[in-house]
Amino acid sequence: MSGSFSFRLVAHDGAARAGEIATTHGLVRTPAFMPVGTQATVKAMYPDQVRAAGADIVLANTYHLMLRPGAERIAALGGLHRFMNWPHAIITDSGGFQVMSLAPLRKIDDNGVTFRSHIDGATYELTPERATEIQILLGADIAMQLDECVRLPAPRDDIARAVALSLAWGERAKRAFEEAPSGRALFGIVQGGDDAELRCASARSVVGAGFHGYAIGGLAVGEPQDVMLRIIAEVEPLLPVGRPRYLMGVGTPDDLIEAVARGMDMFDCVLPTRNGRHALAFTRHGPINLRNARHADDPRPLDEASPCAAARTYARAYLHHLFKANEMLGAMLLTAVNLSYYLELMAGMRDAILQGRFAAFAAETREGWARGDIAPV
């Protein structure tokens, strides 16, 4: 594996790390939150807003894009960066998780997964080779190996089988990735459910196989936070210091702080965008539900000290009205507020790590949440 992809550890504070991932589409400052752009768009946001909010990288989805509009089509159109008008870094999910959660009639064997499209019922096959090929076609700066993510709770044997399968698939993905243009990266995925022993075995094997970076998959799927944090703490010492670590599908603002404290570097989650579309704002004062009637007459903005114009400018009463009236601008504004808050939180953690005051930053942030929303007028 060659090319200009690289990771540089800039500083650490305890286990928390600040780093820089170099890609052919720019630097990714870590710890990094990666807004979710499943269908080649971060829902309700213009790409330049996503960038202005502080994102260095977005996540797109192999499963969704292979079905619609199709990977070959996006390649013929000049690749995903041009297609979605996002000239910065892009990471793509392998699609394994979405096949399991969205596709009807899926069938898994050693070779890969056969499934029907949730859009038109057509049959598709996703193998480690095809998942890799699709991500190369899309032009992802970072591709993920195809893996199998077991729904928890699950019998230990099922988890062990998925670990073995994911490892074999990882090795096949790596061979397939030799076709990738230089400068691209492939990450391996550690599985193992909530079983520390299987997790560690998985981590050792995946690291042994050798990837540009390592992800922990199959967490944040409904287990308690302490289970997730325990697994991270077990796996982290087995991951090489010089490679980025991606905790997939995580999480709440508190999850992000806890995971960064345990040495994780990269994150993605639908929470800021999905909750934004459902009237829930993330703020320095904790979550605020704009559907609540207490906002109906409140002239104050969500947070007048926010770097996000949407949070500073619009009255809570107006945001409340937009959601009551089903107006798209409500989703647009709160998505912007939430992504901005998430990215501000990541930037705050990074600065704190660089200054050696991560614990103090985490405590101050939690104090803000605990104080709760400012009282109504």
Binding positions for a second copy, rule: CB under 8 A? 39-41, 43-46, 64, 68-69, 73, 76-78, 82-85, 296-297, 299, 313-315, 317-318, 320-322, 324-325, 327-329, 331-332
Q: How many Cα atoms occupy the beta-carbon half-sphere of 152 within 13 Å?
A: 16
Q: Which is nearer to a second copy, 45 or 216 (CB)?
A: 45
Nearest distance from C-beta of residue 313 to a second copy, angstroms: 6
Report the distance separating Cα 234 and Cα 261, nearest Å. Answer: 14
CB-nearer residue toward a second copy: 47 or 210: 47
CB 189 within 8 A of CB 147: yes
Q: Let me know: does 53 contact 336? Beta carbons within 8 Å.
A: yes
Nearer to a second copy, 140 or 149 (CB): 140
Q: Does 254 participate in catalysis according to the annotation?
A: no
Distance CA 128, CA 188 (A): 12
For residue 8, the minimal CB distance to a second copy (Å) is: 33
Cβ proximity to a second copy: between 10 and 77 the closer is 77
Q: Which of 13, 93, 194, 303 is catalytic?
A: 93
Q: CB of residue 316 vs a second copy: minimum separation in angstroms?
A: 10
- Closest separation between CB of residue 272 and a second copy, Å? 15
Strand partners, 131: none
Distance (Å, whole) CA 215 – CA 164: 16
93 catalytically annotated: yes
> Rounded distance, CA 309 to CA 303, Å?
10
Cβ proximity to a second copy: between 26 and 87 the closer is 87
Active-site residue, selected from the candidate residues 13, 56, 195, 268: 268
**Which stretches of the chain are DSSP H helices?**
47-52, 62-67, 71-76, 80-83, 96-102, 128-138, 156-176, 196-209, 225-235, 253-261, 271-277, 309-313, 316-324, 328-354, 358-371
Give me the least distance between CB of 162 and a second copy, in Å please.
Answer: 30
What are the residue numbers of the active site?
93, 268
